[in-house]
Structure 1
Amino acid sequence: VDTEKARRCVAQDAQDGLEKASQSYLDALSVVNASVIEMGAHIGELRLACDDLNTRLGEADHSTRYLLQHANGLRKQHELTVQQSNLLNIFLDRFTLTEKEQETIESRSIPVGTALFAAMDKINRIRTECQVLLVGQEEGIKAGMRAGMGIMDETSTFLDKAQQKIGKWLLSEMRSFAREGVEVGQHVREAVLRLDGREDLLRPALKTLSGARAQLLSNAFQRALTVGGPAPTYLPRPIELHAHDPIRYVGDMLAWVHQSVASEREFLTAFFSKIGDLRGLEGMRRVGQRRRGLEGSIDWTGDDTAGLPKAELWTRETLDKVIEGCCHSLRIRIEQTVNSQEGCITTYRLASLIQFYRVTMERTLGTRAALSRTLKALSIMTYRAFLSTLERLGAGLARFHDLPEADLSPPAPVLGASATLKELLSAHQASLSEADMFGDALPLKDLPPDESRDFGLVLSRLIEPIMDVCTRMGDALLNASRGRGNEVEEKAHWKRDIFLINCLNYVKSVIEFHHFAARSVGRIEEDLDQHVEELIKRHYTQLSVESGLDS
């Protein structure tokens, strides 16, 4: 084998294969080169397009810069407007009423109730908070004040409408209290509180209330007088069944009125409980007992009502008009009872009884109340009737002109008048015990200046006729002995002095244990001393004559 030739052939074949491969590589590279050249052309075009775009973007940026700034300003204004809108909605929700609340106030079909009271609470809150807007700040003072004034005007209108609605509703509700056993509802108390500052709306309702309760109380008083308690037992019995007993008759009537005042006051206390805490103010106080005010003890019996709470003033005024319904019937019956009495003891007990209830009512209702004035007039009238009976008793003693008994004891008229005097002193002592509890509770203190205010002077209206009748009987004994000789006349003087001493001692024993009769006791003791001294002188003279020592 030609090795050399084969080697050349192999080399030739390898050379040919390498050339073919190189040619194929060159062909492929030419295609790539063409593509790169084409890409370069495209990139150049793209660079030109980008440059053109950058140029146009610069021009657009330059031309739209004002629009962007304006858009940013508008966006900020939009955000501020949204924030102000939210604040305005919150402001309106807080300072204005909703449509439902306005309908609750203005609609007649919606009754007075919790919804209306809640709307009024919101109005009051709005008006309170609106004061801040009326004060204002350095920035926006005028705008804030205008808003505040507008809100105040609007809420004032709604508040007036709400109060007008409550006033009309309360006026109609007051007519329902003309029945017994009606309780004061929560809505009524709240309505009274809402009209606390509107007397023009509250007073008509209170007038209707007082008229209804006065009529109810007057009818109840008539039933208590003539019918008695409710069926079927009708207990307690009618008061007029005891008309034959003046003390019980008048006492039962006054006790009924007293109880009615207590019940009506409790009713009115509940009625005005929202305005002021009357229950807490009175505590455990009984009717007629002196109250205590917030700043200590206040005398509420006088005409000055400056220290009274508003609720107490309303209660007194309304209670006065309510109780006035039975004053006329009470006055007529008591006057008839007093005028029909002939004995001074019963008349004085009636005067003390009426005075006791008068003081009780003055401490409950005040001195200017109709019932207090009625009881005051009755007390003075009854006491004057008592003084008239004393004068009639004294006039009866003045008609007695008989001679003393043989034993020179006090005569029957003196014994009878002294028994009356003793009973009268006991009755007055009982009235003094009542005065110790309620102050100066005697009817004497209200008499005019021309009439006696001292019970000691009053007693003298009976004691003086007793002493006068004793003196007349003693003088009659002297007149009967004249012209019958010196010895008979001398014995008559002895008998006269002894008779007067017996009578005066008896009267003194009746009154000496009562301190208010000290003046009369003193006068009787002076007369006793005078008569004892005369008796001693006569006895001394007689002994001197009989013993011969006078010569």
Structure 2
Amino acid sequence: MGTDTVAPTENASGEKPSNNPLSRKINKILETRLENDKDTLDALKELSTFFTENTLRSRRNLRGEIEKRSVGISEEFVCALRDVKESVDAMYKEVSAMNEVCVDMKRRLQATKSETRHLIHQTTSLQNQSHKLHMQEKVAEAFVKTFQLTTDEVMTIKGSTRESPITQEFFTVLEKTQKIRNNTKYLLQTGHQKTALDVMEQMNVCREAGLERLYRWCQSQCRSPDPSPLLPQALAALQERPVLFNLVVEEWIVVRRGWLVRGFLDALTIGGPGGAPRPIELQAHDPLRYVGDMLAWVHQALPSEREAAQTLFSKCSNIDPAEHTRSTVASISESVCRPLKTRIEQMIVIDQGREGGKKPVQLYKISNLLRFYHNTILQVTDAGLLVATLDELHQLSHKMFISALQTQVSHVSERIEPPSEMLSPTSGVQRTLGLLTEVVTAATVADDAQHDFKQIVSCVVDPLVNAVNESASGLGAVESAVYLLNCFHQLHSTLSLLHTTGEKLEMIQGQIDAQLDTLAQEQVNGVCHSVGVAGMYPFITHPPPTPLSQNPACQPLAVQSFMTKLDGFLAAPDHLMLPHTRLLLSSNFRRTLQQRTAEAIVTIYAKLHALVHDPNNAYNDPSTLLPRDPETVKTLLL
């Protein structure tokens, strides 16, 4: 009718809800899920403790029972709360009393504070002063530690007595003085000039005393056969005083010189411990061994001196240790120069003429020995007096060797015997070549001795060649050529052992070639006469304008006779060789002569063959006169 009518809702079962309040409560209770209502469950559990019988009486008295229990609980709570109140009241009284005490203490503290304010201020001031003094003490201790030496350190560097030994602590303190001197520049930078100068003066005094003491100790150690291991470090410390440093080095050189020369003289006259090795003077009868033993002893002694000097300068940093080592060893070695030079000079100039040819060879061996040790010792030391002495002795021995060699070669060359019937080199030539061989063999001792070969070879070869040529002047052409070839062959074989005699080898080879040419020419002429081609030869080389067959020397009968004799030569070429060529010592020379002779005959035959077969020369049946062609003859001879 104008207002909407609300339809009643249906419940879950499809029934319409009732408007009865009881019904609604019942439905609400029925719809309640007690398993999810914790408070209801707790209430039911509590109810089960005292609601034991479900009777009408019990249900009616339930509310009263619950209220009664509620009143009991409230009474228990009031009792408990009364105890708490009493405790709180007691605590309040105690706190009030404590508050009164604190107020009294605060009042008294304020009064005391006002009375002790001056004392606190004074105490604070004293504490600040104490802290400042403590810092100053630390600064003073650090300053003393950095810029001063302790009493023990001063005693260490100055020494309690003059003979106090030098230890490693001494160098530690000495290094500290230098470090303090270096640190004074920081004082100067901060404006403490007076303090810096005072510290530097103190350190200079201590350092000078230490260096003076170190210098005396180094001198005593230099004289000791077994110096302290601290000597190199001491010498390095003395580098800042060059005068003291040089004095110590000079003392070392003087002492080592004395030991070296005494050791050399003992080796010459006494020998080693127990007589082994034997004294060097016992070998004076053998100059080469005597000189070699003396030089070997010096050479063996220098490495020990070098090692000692290397150890001495090993810690020095302001110098070149290697250079000072070499110069020091050179200075030490000067002590043996005089006795060594005197004895070697005596061996060089001694008269050994009784030994004949051995004197030049021995002198040359001594010269090479001196040169070898000169170069070897120069690698150990600087070019000092010892090196100069060895070079001077080498020059003297080499000069004496050249003089003796020239004298002996001249003596032998003047007495070269005439050639024998065998045309072999004479005994004088053999002796001279033997002398040259000995010299060449001796030269192998020295590595750089080959630069002497040119002079040595000139001293021997030139006089020998002249003497051989003079001795061959009285012989015939063939005999002279054979003799000279034999002599030059042996000379060439001897010189070929050398490696730096190219000029002389070329000269000897030229002499050999010249004599071979002479001998080959004589051989060819002899063969040409033997085969009957000598008369034809001028016309063969220069044919006339007329036919060659009309020339008496080249008539067919003469050509046929030549061919007959040539066949005999082809069958046995050696039968027409000159008898003296069989005396040649070199088979190469004989082969060369045979080859040159054969080449000459082949050339002559080829020219004659061409002329005979030339129709212009009017030979009848040339194939019968010269049946062999030149190639066949060449094959048979060559």
Please give the TM-score of this superposition, normalised by the length of structure 2: 0.60
Q: Partners in 1 of 2:417 and 2:299 — Cα distance? A: 51
Aligned pairs for 1:448-463 (under 5 A) are 453-463=451-461
Amino acid at match of 1:382: S
**1: CA distance, partners of 2:183 / 2:437:** 75
Equivalent AA in structure 1 for residue 506 of structure 2? G
Q: Which residue of 2 aligns with 1:397?
A: 412
Distance 2:258 2:240 in 1: 28
Cα-to-partner distance string for 1:274-326 (whole Å, 9 max, x where unaligned) = 337xxxxxxxxxxxxxxxxxxxxxxxxxxxxxxx9632233223222222111
**How far is the alpha carbon of 1:527 from its aligned partner?**
0.8
The aligned counterpart of 1:256 is 297
Deviation per CA, 1:317-347: give whole Å up to 9, x if none. Answer: 3222222111111111111112225522111
| 1:356 and 2:405 are equivalent in the alignment | no
Whether contact under 8 Å (2:218, 2:234) holds in the other structure is yes
Work out whether residues 369 and 445 of structure 2, in 8 Å CA contact, stay in contact via their aligned partners in 1.
Answer: no
1:500 aligns with 2:484: yes
Moved more, 538-547 or 259-268: 538-547
SS at match of 1:237: coil
- Work out the percentage of aligned pairs sharing the same amino acid: 26
Matched, 1:214 2:257: yes
User: Shift of residue 167 of structure 1?
Assistant: 0.7
**Aligned equivalents of 2:203, 2:366: Cα separation in 1:** 60
CA contact (8 A) 1:397 1:469 kept: no
Query: CA, structure 1 residues 418+398, in 2 after alignment: closer, same or farther (shift >3 Å)?
Result: closer
- 2:240 is paired with a residue whose SS is coil
Superposition map of 1:265-280 within 5 A: 265-275=306-316
Of 206, 210, 217, the residue aligned with 1:169 is 217
Of 89, 100, 116, the match for 2:170: 116
CA distance in 2, matches of 1:199, 1:131: 25
1 CA distance for matches of 2:231 and 2:444? 49
With 531-540 and 106-115 compared, the bigger mean Cα shift is at 106-115
Distance 1:122 1:392, change over 3 A: same
Counterpart in 1 of 2:403? 388
Which residue of 2 is the match for residue 407 of structure 1?
422
Alpha-carbon separation, structure 2, partners of 1:148 and 1:530? 98
* Unaligned stretches of 5+ residues in structure 2: 1-106, 354-358, 539-638
1:369 shift after superposition: 2.4
Q: Is the 1:112–1:166 contact (alpha carbons within 8 Å) kept by the matching residues of 2?
A: no
Find the counterpart in structure 2 of residue 330 from structure 1.
340
Does structure 2 retain, via aligned residues, the 8 Å contact 1:228–1:234? yes
Structure 1 residues 263 and 454: CA distance shift in structure 2, 3 A: closer
Give the aligned CA root-mean-square deviation in angstroms: 3.2
Q: State the 1:362 CA deviation.
A: 0.7
Q: 1:122 to 1:208 in 2, by over 3 A?
A: same
Decide which of 80, 83, 96 is 2:148's aligned counterpart: 96
Query: What is the deviation of 1:214?
Result: 1.2
8 A contact 2:221–2:227 mirrored in 1: no
For residues 40-55 of structure 1, the aligned pairs below 5 Å read: none
| 2:157 partner amino acid | I
> How far off is 1:498 after superposition?
1.6
**Is the 8 Å Cα contact of residues 227 and 238 (structure 1) preserved in structure 2?**
yes
Report deviation, 1:75.
6.0
Q: Which position in structure 2 is the counterpart of 1:142?
A: 191
Residue 306 of structure 2 contacts residue 380 of structure 2 at CA under 8 Å; is this kept in 1? no
Deviations 1:233-288 (A, max 9, x none): 31111111111222211111111111111222233333334337xxxxxxxxxxxx
Question: CA distance change for structure 1 residues 309 and 519 in 2, over 3 Å: closer, same or farther?
Answer: farther
What secondary structure is seen at the aligned counterpart in 1 of 2:275? coil
Partner of 1:468: 466
Secondary structure of 1:196's counterpart equals helix
> Partners of 1:77 and 1:142 in 2: how far apart?
26
1:364 offset after TM fit, Å?
A: 0.8
The within-5 A match list for 1:513-528 is 513-528=497-512
Q: In structure 1, how many angstroms separate the alpha carbons of the residues matched to 2:156 and 2:186?
A: 27
Mapping for residues 29-40 of structure 1, pairs under 5 Å? none
Residue 69 of structure 1 deviates from its aligned partner by 7.7
Which amino acid in the other structure matches residue 538 of structure 1? Answer: E
2:285 is aligned with what amino acid? H
Kindly state the Cα deviation for residue 473 of structure 1 after the two structures are TM-superposed.
0.7
What is the DSSP-based 3-state SS (H/G/I as helix, E as strand, rest coil) of the residue aligned with 1:315?
helix
CA distance in 1, matches of 2:194, 2:130: 26
d(CA) in 2 for partners of 1:254, 1:371: 11
What is the distance in 2 between the residues matched to 1:513 and 1:313? Answer: 42
Asked if the contact 2:361–2:435 (Cα under 8 Å) also holds between the matched residues in 1, the reply is: yes
In the alignment, structure 1 residue 422 sits paired with structure 2 residue 437: yes
Question: Could you report, residue by residue, the CA deviation over 1:434-478 in whole angstroms, capped at 9, with x for unpaired residues?
Answer: x3xxxxx43x7xxxxxxxx55234312111111111011112x15
Give the secondary structure class of the aligned counterpart of 1:364: coil
Name the larger-Rg structure: 2
Change (3 A) 1:155 1:224: same
1:229 maps to 272
Offset of residue 381 of structure 1: 1.9
SS at match of 1:244: coil
The separation in 1 between residues aligned to 2:173 and 2:238, in whole angstroms, is 15
Equivalent in the alignment of 2:495: 511
Query: Which ranges of structure 1 fall in alignment gaps of 5 or more residues?
Result: 1-49, 177-181, 277-307, 436-440, 445-452, 479-491
How far apart, CA to CA, are the structure 2 residues paired with 1:258 and 1:526? 47
Distance (Å, rounded) in 2 between the aligned partners of 1:388 and 1:454: 14
What SS does the aligned partner of 1:516 have? Answer: coil
- For residues 358-377 of structure 1, give each alpha carbon's deviation from its aligned partner in whole angstroms, at most 9, with x where no partner exists: 111111112x2222222222
CA contact under 8 A between 2:416 and 2:429: conserved in structure 1? no
C-alpha displacement of 1:402: 4.2
**Partners of 1:170 and 1:520 in 2: how far apart?**
63
How many residue pairs end up in the alignment? 420
Report the residue type matching 1:325 in the other structure: S
Check conservation: 2:413, 2:428, Cα contact below 8 A.
no
